[in-house]
Amino acid sequence: MWDDVEPLLATLRPGLYIGVRGRLERYQEERQLHIERLAPVRVELDDLVLFLPRSARSAELMDAELNALIDSIREPPLRDLLHRLLDRSTDSGHTFRLAPAAKQHHHAYLGGLLEHTLSVTQVCELLAGHYGSGLDRDLLVTGALLHDIGKIREISTRSGFPYTDEGKLLGHILIGLQLIADAAAGVSGLAAERLLLVQHLVASHQGRFEWQSPREPRTLEAVILHYADDLDAKLNQVAALVAAVGQGWTAYDRGFARDFLRHRPADERPAPLPPRPASATSALPPRRGRTARTGFETLDLFET
């Protein structure tokens, strides 16, 4: 049987999956694997979760949150655009649910792109609720949901999450703009001006030219999206560093040029706050958009 192995070894490359067929036997109190056949196997996209790290959040809940956010858009053409790009039934929507959000640094695991996108969008929605009526909530949510869509073609969804040629030569922002332009061509009733504002959100979400952003934010919504995106990526990174130590200082991180403090173990924290008495301001009407958040699963930084 070992005759199979040598030629196989010669073809091994990083990122290849090897199928092993054999039988488990017991020999003098120890278990032994009798290998009968080794061969490279093709692993379908949906089976990658068996091999690669994946998001700690439930895929079903994330799916439900995504659908709820899309359905919350009041403007039919924007909602249509989102359906065409993000629906589970589409190619892009399918990959969108599996892809990582980055090669390394933040959300570098299967489902990371969806997890990051949801979190950024939910933060944007909270901020839109907080900053009031001057903001175009639908535009902001649309841009937030699409801001990293290009990553489905920038990063390969296989071991190591290497960049694609397209990823290196164009990058996810330019790829994303192309995906949006292609999808927008089929949307009826989408005004050029609205599409332009969505494209600007995608083009400027990295905030500064030197941070590889082709544009800098020039609308209130673009300013918000940039901060929400940057905060979510940074927090995910710091939370991963912090989660890796029980308490005290994390390892030194070169990118941040510092270490971080996990200042108290979880079990030492005080008991939950008792219900607060109705305050003097409790008669005020509730804020727009808050109710919509009821359905979201709690995102816990330390689940990872």
Task: Report in angstroms how near the CB of residue 144 gets to a second copy at its nearest.
Answer: 13
Q: Which of 39, 41, 169, 251 binds a second copy (CB under 8 A)?
A: 169
Cα–Cα distances in angstroms (integers) from residue 147 to residues 7, 125, 126, 151, 209, in the given order = 45, 14, 17, 9, 16
| Main-chain phi, psi angles of 278, to 5 degrees | -55, 125
Residues in contact with a second copy, counted by CB under 8 A, come to a total of: 99
At 24 the three-state DSSP class reads strand
The reply on whether position 55 binds a second copy by CB under 8 A is no
Q: Which of 57, 106, 116, 215 binds a second copy (CB under 8 A)?
A: 215
**H helical segments located in 90-170:** 91-98, 112-131, 137-146, 151-154, 165-169
Residue 41, beta-bridge partner list: 17
Q: How far apart are CA 114 and CA 62, in angstroms?
A: 7
> Which residue lies nearer to a second copy by CB, 18 or 301?
301
The reply on whether position 58 binds a second copy by CB under 8 A is no
Q: Which of 181, 189, 244, 251 binds a second copy (CB under 8 A)?
A: 181
Task: Report in angstroms how near the CB of residue 127 gets to a second copy at its nearest.
Answer: 7
> Which residue lies nearer to a second copy by CB, 38 or 75?
75
Q: How far apart are CA 230 and CA 240, in angstroms?
A: 16
Site for a second copy in 258-297 (CB under 8 A): 258-261, 263-264, 266, 269-270, 272-273, 276, 279-288, 290-297
The reply on whether position 101 binds a second copy by CB under 8 A is no
Structure tokens at 245: 């130590």
Q: Are 173 and 183 in contact (CB under 8 A)?
A: no
The reply on whether position 68 binds a second copy by CB under 8 A is yes
Q: Which of 102, 145, 203, 240 binds a second copy (CB under 8 A)?
A: 203
Cβ-count burial of 194 within 10 angstroms (0-12 exposed, 13-18 middle, 19+ buried)? buried
Structure tokens at 90: 């589409």
The reply on whether position 12 binds a second copy by CB under 8 A is no
Site for a second copy in 113-152 (CB under 8 A): 119, 122-123, 126-127, 130-136, 138
